[in-house]
């Protein structure tokens, strides 16, 4: 088939690579978000997908909005059979959805209908799921509600951050998306409507969502830290300034600390929660680089009775 691939961040690049390597389909163009400011100089930088497409000599389309007439005219001119999508980042209007014969097929990082929305991987970790996966589905105008072509499953490991898990899903999902294109082309794959039960939503995680509530149990604290790593980054406050939490480890034997209370040893920093303590392993103070929590504690000279959080 002739394909137009839509995607923006680094997590979409493995899928583009899989389609380019398949040898079975032609990736005629790539659709991605416009260049965005990045780095200290806030210089405009092309998206990872755009950079990869340019390396491969593929036409790159960067509409401000997918309903822009200039973009739609070029899409019709290309005449794709199907448009595979991975984390494109913009809502596709009906007028665009109707262009390819086989529609737009999205690779979504959950087992639909679980975790429809922008942050499925983060929410699956924060909810304590043991299994997640990726799904390919036909995009409709509803939120991730279209019929499903296929799925792959992935175990959530006890120490997984959302970054760890998303990296594995990006590569497993790339193979799934390529296989889905093959199945659509040869007519062996039909999309199946999603179940009406088991629907959960995964809205974007905000900075406010990433603030740790020390009154919640230790397992919840650990899941929020892992789910919000690397972005937007779990955090608390210490002496009125924000402290980013990069890694914590639950310590069931420490039940003697009140929520938020600090206990500092020579090489350990413990914080009380609503159940038992967690040990801080890696933190990042405001304006500083990430460091081991014990080094941070020595630097700020924590005194007896101090705590984190409000």
- Distance between CA atoms of residues 53 and 165, nearest Å: 25
- Distance between CA atoms of residues 54 and 70, nearest Å: 20
113 is in an annotated binding site: yes
71 in Cβ contact with 61 (< 8 Å): yes
220 in Cβ contact with 186 (< 8 Å): no
CA distances from 39 to 7, 42, 43, 284 (A): 21, 5, 7, 19
Tokens of residue 295, six digits = 């080094």
Please report which helix (H) or strand (E) contains residue 133, including its range. Answer: strand 131-138
**Nearest Cα to Cα of residue 1 among 184, 235, 275, 230:** 184
- Distance between CA atoms of residues 303 and 121, nearest Å: 38
111 is in an annotated binding site: yes
Tokens of residue 99, six digits = 């262009």
Q: Which residues define the annotated binding site?
A: 110-113
Q: Which residues define the annotated binding site for (6S)-5,6,7,8-tetrahydrofolate?
A: 110-113
């Amino acid at each position: 088939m002739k394909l137009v691939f839509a995607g923006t961040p680094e997590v979409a690049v493995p899928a583009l690579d899989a389609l380019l390597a398949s040898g079975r389909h032609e990736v005629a163009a790539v659709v991605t978000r416009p260049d965005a400011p990045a780095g200290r100089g806030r210089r405009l930088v092309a998206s990872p997908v755009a950079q990869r497409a340019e390396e491969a000599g593929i036409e790159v389309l960067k509409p401000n909005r997918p309903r822009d007439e200039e973009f739609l005219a070029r899409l019709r001119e290309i005449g794709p059979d199907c448009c595979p999508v991975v984390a494109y980042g913009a809502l596709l209007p009906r007028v665009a959805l109707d262009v390819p014969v086989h529609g737009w097929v999205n690779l979504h990082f959950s087992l639909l209908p679980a975790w429809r929305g922008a942050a499925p991987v983060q929410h699956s970790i924060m909810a304590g799921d043991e299994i997640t996966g990726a799904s390919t589905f036909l995009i409709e105008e509803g939120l991730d509600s279209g019929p499903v072509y296929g799925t792959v499953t992935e175990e959530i490991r006890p120490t997984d951050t959302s970054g760890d898990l998303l990296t594995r899903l990006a590569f497993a999902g790339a193979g799934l998306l390529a296989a889905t294109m093959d199945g659509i082309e040869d007519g062996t794959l039909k999309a199946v409507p999603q179940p009406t039960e088991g629907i959960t939503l995964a809205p974007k995680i905000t900075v406010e969502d990433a603030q740790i509530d020390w009154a919640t149990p230790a397992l919840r604290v650990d899941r929020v830290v892992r789910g919000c790593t690397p972005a937007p980054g779990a955090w608390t406050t210490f002496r009125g300034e924000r402290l980013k939490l990069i890694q914590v480890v639950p310590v069931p034997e420490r039940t003697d600390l009140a929520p938020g209370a600090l206990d500092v040893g020579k090489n350990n920093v413990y914080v009380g929660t609503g159940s038992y303590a967690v040990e801080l392993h890696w933190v990042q103070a405001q304006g500083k680089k990430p460091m081991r929590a014990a080094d941070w504690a020595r630097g700020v000279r924590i005194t007896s009775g101090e705590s984190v959080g409000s």
